[in-house]
Amino acid sequence: MTLKTKLFATLAFSAIAFGACKKNNPLIPINQETEAIVPEKIDSFSETAMIDLGGATASEISAYDPSTKKVFVVSNDGGTKVEVVDLSAYPTVTKTKTLIYPDNAGINSVAVSNGLLAIALNGTTTTANGDIIVLKTSDLSEVKKISVGAMPDMVTFSPDGNYIISANEGEPNDAYTIDPVGSISIIDIKNNYTVKTLDFAGFEVDKAKLVAAGLRIYGPNASFAQDIEPEYVAVAADSKKAFVTLQENNAVAEVDIIAGKITKIVPLGLKDLSLAQNAFDTSEEDKKYNPKTWPIKAYYLPDAISYFSANDNNYIALANEGDTRAWTGYNEETTVKKVTLNPLKFPDAATLQQDDNMGKLLITSAKGKNADGQYDELFALGGRSVTILNAATGQLVAEIGKDLEQRVADAGKYLDSRSSKKGVEVEGVTVAKVNGKTLAFIGMERSYMVAIYDVSIPSKPVFVQLFQTGEEPEGLMFVKPKDSPNGRSMLIVSSEKDGTVRFYQPNKI
């Protein structure tokens, strides 16, 4: 073999080996590795378009279809609807159609992949089984309707487009007399949309161990399976695993998509507010952001979740909103000044219970009370942060919390009336690459803002930018430059309170 032939053979083998490595390595996102980096200034996101779709709840969650340049928006304003918004003439944004589903008790989520739109609908009542309806994005014709568990709160596709996964929250009715099982449905698109719905009954035997690690199981008269409430789904880049937040339960579930099995529950533990790095502002009396340390712990209680890879590892980012069970039939919410503190545990109880200290702070009544009805421990609701966890181990890698609220306060946007509740109320997070940097976009419901942090080194998040959004941003969706209507990165923000969808893009370098 000549030297030239040997060189050609070596190069050919290397190319084949790299292709095989890319195909089989879950750390390499299949659709991202070959994408060219678009030179964009990561701290320059600004609003480039907006559409007003109505009143409160007219804009909750959005999904974008690159093939048709359309955005599909969940709306519960005056009915159960999906608004269809055309971006083909961007920055001109036009509503072109409304899809109406009158026989369902609410619409929760939408997702798009490979020319398919998945819509998550409640049943005729919120406690009945719901449906995932699949349409073609090209002509909006129905492809399939699949029955799933009660209240499918979030739906998504696997990155390879082969599966649809829904988190079926299974919330109780308001009287708490009906409490459906919480579940996760896996829909196999290639197998004629066959569905497997998984519940958590098999974890009942591990209840004591999981609760000791920070899982919350506390609904009145609820079995383990009934008490679990799946909220939000993120799928690994190789489409083999899903990670599902169990918000009220303070945990994340890991799901083997291929095997159709929930493999583990990862309790998230507690945040110690006696530590300086975890200081909370717990009072609205001083009319300013004033974080302090307190003898109390907080449950994280995450809503949104995003999966990403960096530095040869996989991670999940959690938006620790702090949702509670506050129903007519059962309400866990109370405040520090409304409960009786054990004087042996809290010798300064009278001081702590003053309004200008912890008095008005929202806590749970579900834990901390002793046999005498006094509280030996106090537990606040919500981490007021984004936490980054190692996806394989569940280990906490970093937390963006105190710095996040301080940035909002420095911008003059901190709403002090929320200090005794959930602070800025971190609800949304999505992680994506811009100009080669891995960025976490963080939506804050009560400050009407999005913050950007560079998490290229996940253990050392770096603040990048903070900007205003519509009122109560609910859904965040990132669109890659190759998919967007004008070849630039795009963040789509759906705001629940004012019914707007706003589009943000960075400047090119």
Average pLDDT of span 385-404:
98
Largest CA distance in the chain: 89
pLDDT of residue 4: 38
In the chain, % helix, strand, coil (3-state, to 5) comes to: 10, 40, 45
Three-state SS string over 329-347 comes to CCECEEEHHHCCECCCCCC
pLDDT (tens digit per residue) in 250-295: 999 999 999 999 999 999 999 999 999 999 999 999 999 999 999 9
> 396, exposed or middle or buried, with CB in 10 Å at 0-12, 13-18, 19+?
middle
Q: Virtual CA dihedral for 470, 424, 308, 31, nearest 10 degrees?
A: 0
Q: Domain-by-domain residue ranges, the chain?
A: 101-267, 275-468
Is the pLDDT score of 37 beyond 70?
Answer: yes
Q: How far apart are CA 469 and CA 24, in angstroms?
A: 40
Each residue's pLDDT tens digit, 19-33? 444 434 444 443 444
For residue 488, what are the CA distances in angstroms to 2, 60, 66, 132, 308? 47, 24, 13, 31, 21
Q: Whose CA is closest to 45, among 440, 485, 495, 455?
A: 440
Q: What span, in angstroms and rounded, lies between the C-alpha atoms of 21 and 392? A: 20
Q: Is the bond into 26 cis (omega within 30 degrees of 0)?
A: no
Question: Which token pair is 112?
Answer: 């798009």
Which pLDDT tens digit goes with each residue over 110-124?
999 999 999 999 999
E strand spans, 78-229: 81-86, 94-100, 107-113, 116-121, 129-136, 142-150, 152-157, 163-168, 183-188, 194-199
pLDDT value at residue 36: 86
Contact call for residues 307 and 315 (beta carbons, < 8 A): yes
Chain centre distance of CA 307: 10
Of 330, 268, 278, 332, the closest CA to residue 302 belongs to: 268
Q: What is the pLDDT of residues 64-101, one digit of tens each?
A: 999 999 999 999 999 999 999 999 999 999 999 999 99
pTM of the full structure: 0.93
The fold of 101-267 is Methylamine Dehydrogenase; Chain H (2.130.10)
Tell whether the torsion through CA atoms of 335, 340, 342 and 343 is positive or negative.
positive
